[in-house]
Amino acid sequence: MTTTPQKPEYRPARPEFSSGPCAKRPGWTPEKLNDAVLGRSHRGKPGKAKLKLAIDRTREVLGVPADFLVGIVPGSDTGAVEMAMWSMLGPKPVQLLAFESFGKDWVTDVTKQLKLPGVEVLDAPYGQLPDTSKVRPDADLVFTWNGTTSGVRVPNADFISADRTGIVICDATSAAFAQDLDWAKLDAVTFSWQKALGGEAAHGVLILSPRAVARLESYTPAWPMPKLFRMVDNGKFNAAIFEGATINTPSLLCVEDALDALNWAETVGGAAGMKTRSEANLAALEAWVAKTDWVDFLAQDKAIRSNTSVCLKVVDPRVTALPADAQADFAKKLASVLEKEKAAYDIGGYAKAPPGLRIWCGATVDTADVVALTPWLDWAFASISTELATA
């Protein structure tokens, strides 16, 4: 005879733990966007001023160096990364670090779409990092700073040479505003508002170093360039993109939402304060995992464990003894039960990742909600594991 465990007394006040789009900042309401410039052209003075303000506030809060350019581009982080790759890669050999789904997507872009010669892929299984000692200073590099789908991050940029001759394209979408980006080692940095800022989707941010601008001015790709990727017009770099003159029509409602998030970020201490909040969220999960025998982190090495997209795996022997598809079904049931109970929304692992759970711990999530979630995780596991045969 099995006994259904008693449900926890308290639920998280905000059960939004999705890894993208992520939780809105604490205290957010639609009324916070009442100052949005709506029904007006983004090329008019009010709209362009809002875009420029979003760029300037991003620079201030994120601590972007004064000689770097910040632009708002289409297509979320994906658009920003592809814009950089399609515009800059080609004149040098290319290396890519691939340790999660999006990093593998960039490999597909470079090898199967751009079909560049001299490409080297440094890969690793989910939960691990590639051998970064193999990164060459004479090659261009493409990598994700934080693997949103694997829960793994690079601990620093020491593996990138300060004397490199190649450029570095860094997908930082779930690292920006939560981890320390080494700007001196990066040339094209991308992220989207929908991650650590809890903003709305469809827009990306592309940040370029002087070295990246020099590449754009000195190199013309051999392939046709879609309009949405064009940062060079008749051989001249289009600096206006980085002053608020977007390539295509942006949503000024989304811009207002990003401004609201950036203003909130400043109230919690800017990028450093957001990092502290994110690390506190991870610490709450680490304390729970340390005393829980049915679960563990996908990233075993704490030094490379993400403090934003935290990935968990079920290690109970009754589950690990199951076929792979049954393990995946078990993880899906866990996420489904928690959503039904309104304890956690959208925490299933990424479809291409190993079966498990993924809990967003970025700064817009309150630590109290992470703490409130953990007994629900235990309850969900206990409820579903009653269906399993005794190991």
**What's the token pair of residue 197?**
């800022």
**What's the token pair of residue 198?**
């809890």
Long-range contacts from 331-340, C-beta under 8 angstroms, 24+ separation: 331/355, 331/356, 331/357, 333/384, 334/377, 334/380, 334/381, 334/384, 337/380, 337/383, 337/384, 338/376, 338/377, 338/380
Domain ranges of the chain: 36-266, 270-385
Residue 391: its pLDDT value, please? Answer: 43
Task: Compute the distance between CA of residue 64 and CA of residue 56 in angstroms, rounded to an integer.
Answer: 10
**pTM as predicted:** 0.96
Q: Are strands 94-98 and 119-123 parallel, antiparallel or unpaired?
A: parallel
Q: Which residues contact residue 390 at a Cβ distance below 8 angstroms, ignoring those fewer than 6 apart?
A: 318
Residue 389: its pLDDT value, please? Answer: 54
**What's the token pair of residue 115?**
């079909």
Question: What CATH number has the domain spanning 36-266?
Answer: 3.40.640.10
Within the chain, which residues score under 70 in pLDDT? 1-3, 389-391
CATH architecture for segment(s) 270-385: Alpha-Beta Complex (3.90)
* 71 phi and psi angles, rounded to 5 deg: -130, 150
